[in-house]
A and B are shown apart, each in its own frame.
Chain A
Amino acid sequence: MIRLEKRPQVSAFMSYATPVLAVLATFAAGGVLFYLLGKDPVQSIITIFYDPIFGEFSFYYRPQLLIKGAPLILIAIGLAMGFKAGIWNIGAEGQYIVGAICGAAAGLAFYPMEAVWIFPLMIAAGAFGGWLWAMIPAFLKVRFGTNEILVSLMLVYVAEQLLASMSLGLLKNPEGFGFPGSRNLQQYASAHNAEIVAGTGMHWGVVAALIAVIFAYVLLTRHRLGFAIRVTGEAPRAAHFAGVNAARLTFFCLGMSGLLAGLAGMFEVSGPAGQISIDFNVGYGFTAIIVAFLGRLHPIGIVLAGLLMALTYIGGDIAQSQLQLPAAAIQVFQGMLLFFLLAFDFFTNYRFRFGFRRAV
């Protein structure tokens, strides 16, 4: 007989081993999937995971990892703080959009003036936009006890409508022949989030992500607020008795994750994306939820998880083009990663027991 038994204590070993096991299991199951599709499984895995980092054109793909990973990490860091406290912000995508709109609008308001203070102003505007959008579910939760999961998620769709409206109206490029989309910020020097060293992929969003990681690490391990976050997530009643102000914590966690998502949006729109357009958002806010959990809600883990997710996207596109793997297969592959993570996660709390239960 095999039966499941709850571990008396969370296994420290398993909580570190889980992500590694999940990745290995994804390799195995993904390999089978690719094989069934008539592709060479080993070649497919190499194309996705090895080529971008060590392959012939890695000089191009390595910087791309930073460009793709930075927004994921920035957003996931913010989300993780809330998730640790049991505050579920599912609407980072919306906060990302609003941050981008506010950041771009702040820059475009001064077009074509060139000044050094324009970019810092855009950063502030982007952060404020994301923060403001996250304050809506925070306020409603504290004041009326609404569920922040639903409110923040619904606000994503509101933000998407706002994005469409901005692309077609207020922020539309007046020289765009009536087509939707704003001016391209890459062609507006004062507002362009350019690479700090050309060819490295290192733009200000990457710097911001690194600062956020360090900040979150210190906050969670060294600061009283970090203690409040952890204790609230693990034992809300104990937190109450320890004098944690739940309302203030809600405002902080949602506000901080909104702020970071807004920053991510702002750095994206002023750099790699370049313009506000109807399809500006590509799901970073949702993928970041996976990144946060894949990284075990730990700042360093999130960095690794963010880069890993970026790798699957970049490698996935290469595999599509070189091996003609369908896009859906790549998505299934990415889905497997989360699935196996959650499946193995189970074993940090439970374990198998072999043999018969002794009669009591």
Chain B
Amino acid sequence: MKFGKLLTSAVLALGLAGGAAFAQDKTKVGFVYVGPVGDGGWTYEHDQGRKAVEEAFGDAVETVYVENVAEGPDSERVMTQMALDGADLIFTTSFGYMDPTINVAAKFPNVKFEHATGYKRADNVSTYSARFYEGRAVQGHIAGKMTKSNIVGYIASFPIPEVIRGINSAYLHASKVNPDVEFKIIWVYTWFDPAKEADAAKALIEQGADVVLQHTDSTAPQAAAAEAGGVVTFGQASDMAEYGPFPRVSSIIDNWAPYYVARTKAVMDGTWESVDTWDGIPTGMVEIGEITDAVPADVKEEALAMIEAMRTGAYHPFTGPINKQDGSAWLGEGETADDGTLAGMSFYIEGVDGEIPN
């Protein structure tokens, strides 16, 4: 780790040399994005959070970002470069940045890092993620009520716990209000690929799906649904309001702004600590976009009641009795899922057809 020391001492030397002149310097916050800021989904919302930080602190902060950063050595270089350029806090916003974040953080002990959706932490590395499955519960409820063909299509990205959790949550709440509902799942192995997403949406619609849920970030499935007509969709990661009031009848919005502002403030105040944050509807990290009038009034009311119940903590989306796909018991009557099981969820619940690919 000689090189790490070399880097650190170089940075320290620079810091010391510039210390007097830059003591009152702006707090510099870096953002590493996996997609383009204009993707209309995942990266777009992170960039909204960045803008909120600029707005909240004005001249006291400077934000920088690099978009389209490949996971692996490229991301490691970009993070190092930001740290060398004097960033105080760096948000790395994709799961694949996990090991690079840990590597770079070890070389820059005075820079704080925040890694989204990962599980590795260090003294100067926090992790944060959102409980998207709370939003999936609302989508599942509306989907179960609105489908006429009883076939719900699901565009899944990668078979990782986060996505599987979403499928389970949506299915659970759809089947609760519509026992005949059936989920058709297509795995596209990408977070953002408009062409693949559109193909998947078309294939699902051809198979009779009249509701399409997506765990991918582009608006292509919305466009495909609009073209087919009579197909319900939900915005993902971002509101995608331009496809409302129909086919997009609601959405899950990732609202990172309050978290980013709070963490930047903590760095400015010197109170920053390494934490593991997993927030949802109660803190506003997960927001449900406007439920349009295309949804029947009674269904909308039920959905709003469910959101309110999750907000106050009265309702947990994974409340037993729930069985696993193979029929074995998972949660007993009234029992709620613990975070550990949810975080590593790698099984379907009873009633979901098909197998998790591996």
B residues less than 8 Å from A169 (CB atoms): 358
Binding site for A on B (CB under 8 A): 2-3, 6-7, 10, 30, 36-37, 64-74, 76-78, 80-82, 84-85, 95-96, 99, 103, 119, 158-161, 189, 343-346, 357-358
Contact between chains at B3 and A199 (CB < 8 Å): yes
Chain B residue nearest to A170 (CB atoms) is B358
When distances are taken between beta carbons in the complex, the residues of chain A under 8 Å from B189 are 160-161, 164, 278
Known interface pairs A60-B7, A199-B2, A199-B6. Does A277 touch B81 (Cβ–Cβ under 8 Å)? no
Nearest chain A residue, comparing its CB with the CB of B30: A321
Known A177-B343, A199-B3, A327-B67; judge A64-B77 contact (CB<8 A). Answer: yes
A172: interface (CB < 8 Å): yes
Which residues of B lie under 8 Å from residue A165 when comparing CB positions?
A: 357-358
B10 contacts which chain A residues (CB < 8 A)? 59
Contacts of B64 in A (CB 8 A): 321-322, 324
Cα distance, A326 to B39, chains bound together (Å): 13
Contacts of A327 in B (CB 8 A): 36, 66-68
In the complex, the answer to whether A179 meets B68 with C-beta atoms within 8 Å is: no
Q: Which residues of A contact B346 (CB under 8 A)?
A: 178
Pair B99/A326 contact, Cβ less than 8 Å: no
Asked whether, in the complex, the Cβ of B70 is within 8 Å of the Cβ of A279, the reply is yes
Quick one: which of A161-199 are within 8 Å of B by CB?
161, 164-165, 168-169, 172, 177-181, 184, 186, 195, 198-199
User: Considering only CB atoms, which chain B residue lies closest to A166 in the complex?
Assistant: B358
| Given known A-B contacts A178-B345, A179-B160, A278-B189, A314 and B6 have beta carbons under 8 A apart | no
Docked complex Cα distance between A322 and B85 (Å) = 8
The reply to whether B72 and A282 contact each other, CB–CB distance below 8 Å, is yes
| A179 with B161, Cβ < 8 A, contacts A60-B84, A314-B77 known | yes
A83 → chain B, closest Cβ, in Å? 26
Q: List 28 A-B contacts (CB under 8 A).
A: A57-B81, A57-B84, A64-B77, A68-B73, A165-B357, A168-B358, A169-B358, A177-B343, A178-B345, A179-B160, A179-B161, A184-B99, A198-B3, A277-B72, A277-B96, A278-B189, A279-B70, A280-B72, A282-B72, A314-B77, A320-B65, A321-B66, A321-B81, A321-B82, A324-B64, A326-B36, A327-B67, A328-B36
**Neighbouring A residues of B344 by C-beta, 8 Å:** 177-178
A181 surroundings in chain B (CB, below 8 A): 96
Quick one: which of A254-280 are within 8 Å of B by CB? 268, 272-275, 277-280
**The residue from A199, A272, A278, A321 contacting B78, defined by CB atoms under 8 A apart:** A321
Asked if residues A179 and B119 are in contact (CB atoms below 8 Å), the reply is yes
Q: Are A274 and B85 in contact (CB under 8 A)?
A: no
Known pairs A168-B158, A179-B119, A324-B64 / 20 extra A-B pairs, C-beta < 8 Å: A59-B6, A60-B7, A164-B189, A168-B357, A169-B358, A178-B161, A178-B345, A195-B3, A272-B72, A272-B73, A273-B73, A277-B96, A279-B96, A280-B72, A282-B70, A317-B66, A317-B81, A318-B81, A321-B65, A321-B78
